[in-house]
Structures are given as structure tokens and as C-alpha cells.
A and B are shown apart, each in its own frame.
Chain A
Amino acid sequence: MVLILGLPLAAAVGAGKLPRDPLPEDLGPASIDVSGYPADQQKAYRDVFLPLFGQLGETARAVNSPVIELDPALLAVERSKNPALFDDPMVARVSSDGWKRRVHGILNKPRCCGSCPVLSAKQAKVLWRFLVYDSIARKTGGRAGAWIEHRRRLLDDFKRLYPERFETLKAETAGEEKEGVR
């Protein structure tokens, strides 16, 4: 039943086959409209973001991620302007190092034969800057409301399709929050 419902939705967003351990992010779009971004961020999206996450099969996961990274000053401003962004970590995970830690995680993945594209230290800096810029552009300020709505829609769909997995993720997220992991 789950698979029957899941496949058309996955196909509809162009994600094809869902990963073995799906996340709500997998149900969303797999591209970003970067036409309004500065030229260097458009280049970062084209040259680093898409090839890397495409290779990993996780483009939608990155595009629809709840992670938002803000420096401490901006974080305080955002907290006062958009308190709803801080209500539910399943919707938005705001921190001062969320993307940094995830990019480190990718950077530390082992490289073996050299035939697969790997993230160089230089590309890691470019990717991190793009992810921070993009999450501020699409998820904060005047766009925060639309982002919250988008995430809630993904979570509702996911809960309907994968109720057990949803509960597992919810418990994991709550546990990470308790440990201070954002």
C-alpha cells in the first residue's frame, strides 16, 4: 500500500526511485530557481551543488532540507521576526553551524578509486557558502512563511505515506534536539 501510493508521488517530483530510508525532503522538488541569485552562487549551484548531490542521488534532500544556518547575530534577528521558524525542528532546524557540519560530513566521506567525483576542500567552501546563502534566501525573512508551509506539506505527505518511519524520524529529531544537535 505504501509503495503504491509512494511511487506516483516520487515520479511526480522527478525523484524517481526513493532512497531506502526515505525522508520527507525526498518528496519535494529536486531543483532550485537560482535565476535571481548572484552570479557566483549560480555558478556554485551549477558546478558544485547539482553534480555532487546528483551523484549522491540526494538533490531533493538538499533542496528541501530543514537546515538553516545563520550567524549568531542574524539568528537572534530571525528569532524575533519569525518565531514560528523555531517552533518545530521537523519544519526548520536553525543553527549557526548546521550546513557547516553537514558539508564536513560529506568532505570526510572516504574517496577510493578516484573515478567518482569527490568534494575537494576548495569545493567544500563553495558548497557551504551556497547552502548558507540559499537557505537564507528561501527560508528566512519574508519567505519564512512560505517555507514553513512547504515543509508542513512535505511532512503531511510523508506521514501519510510512511507513518512508522515518520514516527521514527520524529523521535530521532526530538532526541537530537535534546542533545543540542541542530
Chain B
Amino acid sequence: MKHSVIAAMTAAMGVAALAPMGAHAENAETAKLTFAPDVPPPVARKSPAVVRVGLNPQEVVGVLAPGVSDDTRYPFWTFNGRVPGPFIRVREGDTLELTIANSASSAMAHNVDLHAVTGPGGGAALTLVKPGETKTARFKMLKAGLFVYHCAAPPVTDHIANGMYGMILVEPPEGLPKADKEFYVLQSEFYTNEDMETEGLLSYSPKKALAEDPTFVVFNGRVGSLTEDGALQAKVGDRVRIFFGNIGPNKASSFHIIGTIFDRVYREGGFGAEPGRNVQTTLVPAGGAAVVEMTMQVPGDYSLVDHSIFRMQKGAAGTLHVSGPDAPDIYKQVK
């Protein structure tokens, strides 16, 4: 049995045991969170539950780009120590119980605006925590879709630009069709006083952010996160689903995977409409998302790009490696 299932069961049993006499015992579990590019398993429950999630703001210095004599590092503001923050997976009808704990050593206040939440600030107003504070709030997941979340503490611009974001998937009541591989990819920009070739510790440039002139445009928080050892892996015949988000903070993304045609695209992350079929490139606004699906038919390396193509040179490039037998009836050299 997987640890996540054990954790979920334990949490559910604990809550049932503590429920007061006569009160309706709620079905509760602790969410299994994953970091990009991993995605938690589909929700197996048939009935709604209270799903507990912990988001902890942390300021950490991490690698923004690999260097040649030294890595290029950046003082990120994060949820749970990573950029992007964890992927949360729930189902329509669930209640998200969100606890946000801001450590005493934090330099500033933080909160969370989840685009999946209905209510003022997407929950930001209920979750604003000063250094040393902890708050918990509950939000009913009313609508299925793929959503971004981000810190919205003032100034919201800087909290997003420095790395405080992630994604939450609200599955439709019947769940999503089975996929062989699911991946979490989130595009974002970084604005630095130094140029892209500078190694060592970089610093945030509000001036460049205001001018919407990013130094870096990256997938999953750093240059090269999805290349070489980090490349996404699939096999010929796999149905691949990518949960793609774009937090900006400024630019829209023209998401494309070179050499593929998306079988299905849930545009702007909504599951309420029929998906687009046979789509080459999908436009994902800042603060938006899309779910793309494709069945891999030919082995090889496929590049994930923002087709505003010069952004590849700013870091927006990834690889999906597909292994398996050649498919000469589809793709072959003749001469």
C-alpha cells in the first residue's frame, strides 16, 4: 500500500475518532503533494472529503540556471521550499482545508490566492500570515479545472515574480480519463539586475519587471529543469497528459511541443467545455493553465517550448523523451 494512501486513511480515521458525539463525522484526508514535474495520483474516492493541505512560505537561495564555473543562483520566495510550489489534487465537491504557517524568521507576510477558490481574494484575505503566524481556512471546491495559486500579499507583483506559486487540480466528479503519464509544468519569468550569463547570486529587478523585460523565462523554476537528466520520460503508445500552468507574472505563453499535435486541449484549464482537438499550440495567459493530452507514436526527443520562440534562449525549453520501436509508417527518411 502506498504511503499516501496510508496517510490519507490515518488522517480520516483520526478525524472520525475525534468527532463529537452526535456530530456528523466528516471524511477527511491529508493531501499527497508533489513537486514538479510529478503529479499526485488521481483521486480514488467516490464521495467528497475534507482535504488538508499545508503551505509554508520559505525564502531559499536556489539554482536558477546551471553555470560553468558556478551556478547562477537566486533568492527565491517559495511555498514549501521549491519553485514552483507543490501540486495539489482534489475533486469537485471536496473541501480544501488549507493551513499556512509563516515562520518567525520570515522577512515578510504571505498568503495564498487560489484561483480554484470562490470568495474574496481567492482565499488571500483569510490566509494572510505575518512572520510567526499560522492560519487555517476551508474552501469548497465548486468548479472543476486546473488552476494556479500564488501569494497575493502586498506587493503581489513581487511575491509572484520571486517564485511564490503552484497549481491545484480540481478533478471533475467522474475524474479524468486514464493517462499513462501525467506531468506538472509551470512557466514563469524572472527579472534580474544582472544578465543571463552572470554566475553566482543574482538579484531581483523591479524595474525590469515593471518594464515586462524578463531576464529568464523558465519551466519549473529554473533553466534546464526539463532537459538532460530532468527530461520527461514516456514510451511509444503512452497517453501523456501535461498540466501546464503559466504564472507570468507578465507574459502569455504559446505552449507547443515540437513534433506533436495535441489530441485534446482543455483550454484555459476548464473542464466545463469540450476539449479542443488536434491543436498545435495553445495560448495560456498569465495566471492561467491548460491541460494537454497526446498519445506518443514515434520515439525520439520532443521539445517543450513557448512558441514565442526567442524565449527558448531565456530558458523556456524542455524535453519529452519517448522510447520504443520506430514507426516507419508514420515517420521515416526516404533518401
Interface residues of A (CB under 8 A from B): 97, 100-101, 103-105, 107-114, 120-122, 124-125, 127-128
B132 contacts A by Cβ under 8 Å = no
- Give A99's nearest chain B residue, CB to CB: B68
| Distance in Å: Cβ of B273 to nearest Cβ of chain A | 32
Complex Cα gap A108–B67 (Å): 11
CB-defined contacts of A128 to chain B, threshold 8 Å = 68-69
Known interface pairs A100-B199, A121-B228; A111-B303 also in contact (CB < 8 Å): yes
A111 vs B317: C-alpha distance in the bound complex, in angstroms? 8
Q: Are A114 and B301 in contact, CB atoms less than 8 angstroms apart?
A: yes
Q: Using a Cβ–Cβ cut-off of 8 Å, how many residues does chain B contribute to the interface with A?
A: 24
- Taken together as a complex, chains A and B put the C-alpha atoms of A103 and B72 apart, in Å, by 14
Given A104-B197, A125-B68, A113 and B224 contact (CB-CB distance below 8 Å): no
Chain A residues with CB under 8 Å of B319's CB are 111, 114
The interface residues of chain B lying within 8 Å CB-to-CB of A125 are: 68-69
Enumerate chain B residues within 8 angstroms of A124, measured Cβ to Cβ: 66, 68
- Nearest residue (CB) in A for B70 is A100
Chain B: minimal CB distance from A103 (Å) = 5
Tell me which residues across on chain A come within 8 A of B317, comparing CB atoms: 110-111
Find chain A residues with CB under 8 A from B301 CB: 113-114
Contact with A along B174-207 (1 / 0, CB 8 A): 0000000000000000000000110100000000
Q: List 13 A-B contacts (CB under 8 A).
A: A97-B199, A100-B68, A103-B68, A104-B196, A107-B66, A108-B315, A110-B309, A111-B312, A113-B258, A113-B259, A124-B68, A125-B69, A128-B69
The one of B223, B303, B315 that contacts A114, using a Cβ cutoff of 8 Å: B303
B62: interface (CB < 8 Å): no
Give the residue of A114, A121, A122, A127 whose beta carbon is less than 8 angstroms from that of B300.
Answer: A114
